[in-house]
Amino acid sequence: MTRLDAAAVSAVLFDEFAGLPAGVVAAESWSSWHRPGLLSFWVDDVGRADLEAVLGVPMDGHLLSWTAVTADGERGEAVLDTLWGSVALRILGHHFSVLRYRLAVLLSPEVHSGSRALRAWLPDHVQVVGHPTDIESAREVSERLQPPVPALLRPVEPRTLAQVREAEVRAAVQAERRRGSEVRRRRIAEVRAQLVARRAGQSERRRPRTYRWLWGEWGGCGRRPPETPGFRSVPCHCRADAAPERPRYSAAVSTEELP
């Protein structure tokens, strides 16, 4: 693409009045959205107010970010990187989404992938603009686009006040998450150590017993029981003149009870 084409794409991609609610895009599933291209993400007035309440400073505009989606067809997981798949299956679905993860830091810090409240918030308050194009053009022009207003989640130097504040909130949330993970790991290690100690104590209280099998008193086998390490064997007590029968074992008796 030429520089002029990049400017023309910017005029289309960064037209916030052309944005469609993410829930509508996912539900309608237009054929033109099942292609690679460029996506820009926005919030409506309600969504902007929610984000500014967390940041504590006004946002520079409604623009959140933009990205290139470069699906080569729609087979298997390739559909995730179409214009429609990025909205319906990533942002609103259960596949990984960078945008949902970044919004979760601000609006649902207790849940990494986004709480139920955030997932209910996304379809109505996140808006998207899609621009279908070929894969090479999408990759090449994405880095050269110049939005009319700074994107909150895609900062460039120098950063605006809202972008700086977003980075501070994200750092604080990630630090808190790491502390929570460390507490959970220590707790799990303590529980495991307690279980190991309890099992060791139970095994020490159990005295192992040695058993041997008394050969059946009936049946003319005329043989001794098989020699087994740790077991005492005794001569067969069958009658020598009895008809041969299949030898069998009687109940187990502890060697501690033998004379």
pLDDT tens for each residue of 178-236: 998 899 999 999 999 999 888 887 776 665 554 444 444 444 444 555 555 554 544 55
Cα(136)–Cα(169) distance, rounded to whole angstroms?
35
Q: Which of 123, 153, 176 is the last residue of a domain?
A: 176
Residue 189 domain flag: no
Residues 245 and 137 in one domain: no
Residues 28 and 109 in one domain: yes
For residue 154, pLDDT beyond 80: yes
Residue 197 domain flag: no
pTM comes to: 0.70
Q: Which range is least confidently modeled, 12-26, 32-46, 90-104, 213-227?
A: 213-227
Residues 171 and 237 in one domain: no
pLDDT tens for each residue of 134-147: 888 888 888 889 89
Residues 18 and 118 in one domain: yes
For residue 59, pLDDT beyond 90: yes
pLDDT class of 258 with cuts at 50, 70, 90? very low
Task: Give the pairing of strands 249-254 and 211-215.
Answer: antiparallel
Residues 37 and 156 in one domain: yes
Across the range 151-175, mean pLDDT stands at 94
Residues 171 and 214 in one domain: no
Residue 156 near residue 18 (C-beta atoms within 8 A): no
Residue 196 domain flag: no
Burial of 161 (0-12, 13-18, 19+ CB in 10 A): middle
Q: What is the pLDDT of residue 80?
A: 92
Residues with Cβ < 8 Å from 196, sequence gap 6 or more? none
Q: Which of 176, 191, 217 is the last residue of a domain?
A: 176
Residues 155 and 216 in one domain: no
Residues 159 and 226 in one domain: no
Structure tokens at 23: 């829930």
Q: How many domains does the chain have?
A: 2
Residue 194 domain flag: no
Q: Residue 225 belongs to what domain range?
A: 209-259
Residues 124 and 217 in one domain: no
pLDDT class of 156 with cuts at 50, 70, 90? confident
Residue 222 domain flag: yes
At position 37, the amino acid (one-letter code) is G
Residues 116 and 217 in one domain: no
pLDDT class of 249 with cuts at 50, 70, 90? very low
Residues 170 and 213 in one domain: no
Residue 190 domain flag: no
Residues 36 and 156 in one domain: yes
